[in-house]
Structure 1
Amino acid sequence: MRRRRRIVGVVSLAGAGLLGKSLSTKPGSPEFYGLTLGVAGTWTLGGLASGPVHRGWVQDRDQRLSRPVITPVLTGVVAFLVFYLCAVASRHVPVLDRAISSVLRYARVGSSRSVLLTTLVNGAAEEIFFRGALYAAVGKQHPVALSTAVYSLATTSTRNPALVLASAVMGALFGLQRQATGGIQAPMLTHLTWSTLMLRFLPPLFDNDVPTAAALR
């Protein structure tokens, strides 16, 4: 446990630093893609190096165990709908409107496939580390609250209030899924579903505020 906690502590600092750096680069640039993949690699390698990471199980009415699939995906869809409605409301809150528009620059500029790939890779990597390694390292004392707090704290390196708020809400949801299933498969599927839908449907809502590639040259 001590070894896992040491690794988790070092990786948390390294990953947070790279995350903040990645969102200070030019959208669509090689530096952006390189750093975001570096963040994913840091979370993944650090999480796996710290010790075993379990997928988790759910039990049906007949007491049979199975891997969680359908419910996590549906949870991701519901989470997206809630966030979409909140995004609509945020258009009337200047600080959140600016923060979301700032993040969406990275979704609008460059290759859509590359953006989707880095988004999904980072989402999976975050679950391996935060709901896998970090959650296990915390122990039995308030693992959901503490893992969510560290997740949100790492996100503060982006200096974006919308991302920090989203990390607190979704981090708590992912943590509860980890607690309920005993593994990372459920939160990972929810995370990937939510991220994909956000990436697909949120940018058009902020089209007037998000610059094009030509405007950023």
Structure 2
Amino acid sequence: MKTALGLVTAAGAGLLGHSLSRKPGSAEFVGSTAAVAGVWAAGSLLDRTPAGRIGAGPVAAGVGAFVLFRAGAEVARRIPVLRRALQGVLRYATAGNGGAVLLTTLANGAAEELFFRGPVYNALGATGSTAVYVLTTTATRNPALVVASAVMGTVFAWQRRAGGGVLAPVVTHVVWSALMVWRLPALVPEKAGP
């Protein structure tokens, strides 16, 4: 099982790095991000994971996480190196077909949770699955995404343990991602002032 998980993780990380080296908004970017979601979704089939319990908490957690990340972006946009890291990833949210970008973002968020909080969590537990999630995100070569993966990976692992399944992390990830794509680019525009 761990060998198969390692192969899926390596394939997903490779595609993830490839996708974020493509031109923002291009068909190649959209296609490669869709492929990443497909890898994570296929990998989730390696082990059965229950859906778990869910209430309004995961939606509130997604909104709360967005509020915290928005506050962090408010500070980061004033620090040139951090502003560049944010702009580097947010240009993918604003270029090309907005509907396609949102769809692939949400598909990736859901598929990541099905894989990393499914079979990877089952094999490695909360700390191990979060560590693999963060290491996988380093393939993006974007420090903003790596930091986000550490923070949110910890939240998602906690939700997995508390809720007994993958549904709570999936809902939180989708809500958080939708808000990030919809609202964060305006806060850190490509041509930022001093």
**TM bucket normalised to smaller:** over 0.9
Alpha-carbon distance change, 208 to 155 in structure 1, aligned in 2, over 3 angstroms: closer
Aligned-CA RMSD value: 1.0
- Between the two proteins, the alignment pairs up a number of residues equal to 192
Aligned AA (2:64): V
- Shift in alpha-carbon separation, 1:208–1:11, aligned structure 2, 3 A: closer
Deviation digits for residues 94-147 of structure 1 (CA, Å, limit 9, x no counterpart): 221101101111111111100110000000000010001100111xxxx21111
* 1:109 pairs with 2:95: yes
Is residue 2:8 matched to residue 1:11?
A: yes
Scaled by the length of structure 2, what TM-score is found? 0.96
- How far has the Cα of 1:6 moved from its partner? 1.9
Shift of 1:92: 1.9
Unaligned runs of 5+ in 2: none
81, 106, 127: which one pairs with 1:145?
127
Of the candidates 41, 46, 52, which is equivalent to residue 44 of structure 1?
A: 41
- The Cα of 1:209 is off from its aligned counterpart by 2.9
Partner of 1:89: 75
Q: Does the residue aligned with 1:92 lie in a helix, a strand or coil?
A: coil
Q: Is the 8 A contact 1:8 1:47 kept in 2?
A: no
Contact between 1:123 and 1:195, CA under 8 Å: does it hold in 2?
yes
Pair 1:198-2:176 in alignment: no
* 1:177 to partner: Cα distance: 0.3
Q: In structure 2, which of residues 157, 160, 167 is the aligned counterpart of residue 185 of structure 1?
A: 167
Within the candidate set 138, 143, 152, 1:161 is matched to 143
Larger radius of gyration: 1
The 2-side partners of 1:42 and 1:209 are apart by 35
Q: What amino acid does structure 2 have at the position aligned with 1:108?
A: T
The runs of at least 4 aligned residues of structure 1 exceeding 4 Å deviation read none
Does the 8 A contact of 2:44 with 2:119 survive in 1? Answer: yes
| Deviation of 1:69 (Å) | 3.2
Q: Is the 8 A contact 1:101 1:209 kept in 2?
A: no
* Aligned with residue 33 of structure 1, among 18, 30, 37: 30
Q: Percent identity?
A: 54
Give the unaligned 5+ runs of structure 1: 58-67, 211-217
